[in-house]
Structure 1
């Protein structure tokens, strides 16, 4: 008899247990959340483009005379100075050419001296009626021909000296040098092509295309915005921001027929060599006087099919604020519509929130940084 009466009692206890969580939740009180106030920050109008890093100077190193490569005088990848020797071609043949040209100059000088003496003798004989005008004229012509031969010999000597100088291949600019194509022992010459490339490092150029639409918008602002005062900030593919600001120094004179864009170029300092020729980056342009805008941490944003929103705290309860955003400012997002200045925004603990839920707001360990 006792077993029969125990079953209804157990069922009643189970029902009581299932009904207890709401009461327990009610006993737990408001949900603790971390909040930060929506703040006003000075924000400049910004536009972002895709750009490419270019070295202002990029020189291909080539051999200007033919010979055996005797020495490679640099370490690949290092910084070389303007005028620093890079390669040396064997010299003996070119030194011999210089010596031969010097001999030709001496012979030409001797021939000129002789022709000058002969011309003077012919003039003396003609003055004494002991010579003829034809002989005098012939001696004058011989002297002029000797002068020409001397000039030719001196030019050949200069050419030989220049070619000897080309056996020392030096860097025409200061920059980093790449991987050498030829090593010691190879025969190189003008037909060998590029031996190596030197790329200047500081500053660097960044070129980026601007659409016709954006370009026309910028023209409307002419007089308000000076291109020389536009800040150029570089972002790397991993999202990090380069620590140097650049300035626009060139706008192309024509619009591309294929892409309907105009090329702009910025000059960016590169003291630590972080920018590399050919690198793809993002370019952010900021211009005009900063305007006060509401900003909140990006960590507070929640997205759904209707857009983005945040939980704010009002009268101790969680309320939804639908936002219209206007870009980013470092780790923060700019809010165009949907929030008031000073309104507490939930950034910690919103995962369990529902609209209208009672909350206990405490300052979060986050500060807004521009």
Structure 2
């Protein structure tokens, strides 16, 4: 009985001791303070919204062109005698560029002059012949009148029986022959007048050929018509060229223009400005300062991507060459009540965040263009908030309305 009771009490005693130890350890454990969760604060830069009247700037990319590129062709077939310039060289007005061999120019001139003198002599001869034919016609006409008078006299004598029929027939025969002679002399006068007209036409033709030969002689000694830059030289000394072959190309330094593609979104405002004669300028940043390029005109044809606009290249940029690419900023028509903000403040295309009570508040805005600030492009927005509002300009990937921030005023 004792052994049976012992087997029951020992396990109960172990359980009781274990429970007592657990209760003791639970009652004596240290108490932990409740963990408090603090909201994270994001550091952002901010700026004060200032309403201004500003002109939006549109970045354009264009290519330099010349509106007076001259391709000088050979006036005659001949040999190039001298080439006095090289490609890319700047030349002054009146400076010799190249020349064609003198015999190739003077021989056609001598031939044209000979043809002209021959035509003059032929015309003079035809005029002398015309004078002789005119006198012959006058003489034969007088003889015709005498023959007509003789016929009338014979008729009167026949009426009085003082002349025979044979004498009247002879007078009529002489009259008919003289009429034929008069017709022939008149035809000679008319034919000679046509020959004079032909000779005058031939003289005019040979005179034009002579003038062309004289012009070719001048063109064969090519000189710069104005201050220019040589774009390309296609021949060298000793080259044989055909008439009409391009020998050299050059352009005036003051003829440089910039052709840039104008987006369709700006076409209406730019067209209206040109019609109203409102000056519009683009700006090009050089190493030292900003240069202005005046808008001249729009192209006559458009494409789906926009219309080409032409800008005058100022003389200070005359070192530019046709074909060079340029980045310019077109200054548009001024906008009232707009705010300039850095692009870091813009989310998407039409949203920014104001800071109100240390929290971000989303606002939808209308981006109307860009403006240059300290050499950088800022967005130009039409706001729906009041002037003096604080704008967050630090771009946060997790930005949302209600996000707690700590601002650093810029």
Question: CA, structure 1 residues 35+148, in 2 after alignment: closer, same or farther (shift >3 Å)?
Answer: closer
Question: CA, structure 1 residues 160+230, in 2 after alignment: closer, same or farther (shift >3 Å)?
Answer: closer
Choose from 46, 51, 54 the match for 2:62. Answer: 51
SS of corresponding position for 1:284: strand
Q: Distance in 2 between matches of 1:209 and 1:222?
A: 11
Matched, 1:263 2:307: yes
Q: Look up the match of 1:11.
A: none
SS of corresponding position for 2:317: coil
Q: 1 or 2, which has the higher strand percentage?
A: 1
Q: Deviations over 1:148-184 (max 9, x none)?
A: 4434433332332233233123446653222312122
Choose from 353, 363, 372 the match for 1:330. Answer: 372
Shift of 1:38: 6.5
Structure 2 counterparts to residues 55-66 of structure 1, below 5 A: 55-66=66-77
Matched, 1:188 2:241: yes
Q: Look up the match of 1:197.
A: 250
Q: Distance in 2 between matches of 1:151 and 1:222?
A: 51
Matched, 1:99 2:110: yes
Cα RMSD over matched residues? 5.1
> Once structures 1 and 2 are overlaid, which stretch shifts more, 78-87 or 318-327?
318-327
Question: CA, structure 1 residues 223+120, in 2 after alignment: closer, same or farther (shift >3 Å)?
Answer: closer
Q: 1 or 2, which has the higher helix percentage?
A: 2
Please give the TM-score of this superposition, normalised by the length of structure 1: 0.61
Q: Does the Cα contact within 8 Å between 1:39 and 1:296 map onto a contact in 2? A: no
SS of corresponding position for 1:288: coil
Shift of 1:84: 5.4
Matched, 1:210 2:260: no
Q: Distance in 1 between matches of 2:291 and 2:252?
A: 22
Q: Distance in 2 between matches of 1:95 and 1:197?
A: 26
Q: Distance in 2 between matches of 1:140 and 1:225?
A: 64
Q: Does the Cα contact within 8 Å between 2:77 and 2:104 map onto a contact in 1? A: no
Q: Look up the match of 1:286.
A: 331
SS of corresponding position for 1:178: strand
Structure 2 counterparts to residues 352-367 of structure 1, below 5 A: none
Structure 2 counterparts to residues 1-370 of structure 1, below 5 A: 41-80=52-91, 85-129=96-140, 132-133=181-182, 134=184, 137-138=187-188, 141-142=191-192, 144=196, 145-171=198-224, 175-190=228-243, 192-193=245-246, 195-198=248-251, 200-202=253-255, 204-211=257-264, 214=265, 218=268, 228-229=277-278, 231-235=280-284, 242-250=290-298, 252=300, 255-256=302-303, 260-273=304-317, 275-295=320-340, 328-331=370-373
Q: Distance in 2 between matches of 1:267 and 1:95?
A: 45
Question: CA, structure 1 residues 72+128, in 2 after alignment: closer, same or farther (shift >3 Å)?
Answer: same
Gaps of 5+ in 1: 1-33, 348-354, 365-370
Q: Distance in 2 between matches of 1:61 and 1:77?
A: 16
Shift of 1:44: 2.0
Q: Does the Cα contact within 8 Å between 1:324 and 1:338 map onto a contact in 2? A: yes
Q: Distance in 1 between matches of 2:360 and 2:243?
A: 73
Q: Distance in 2 between matches of 1:114 and 1:73?
A: 49
Q: Look up the match of 1:29.
A: none
Q: Distance in 1 between matches of 2:105 and 2:273?
A: 63
Q: Which has the larger radius of gyration?
A: 2
Q: Does the Cα contact within 8 Å between 1:178 and 1:198 map onto a contact in 2? A: yes
Q: Distance in 2 between matches of 1:222 and 1:77?
A: 36
Q: Distance in 1 between matches of 2:333 and 2:216?
A: 57
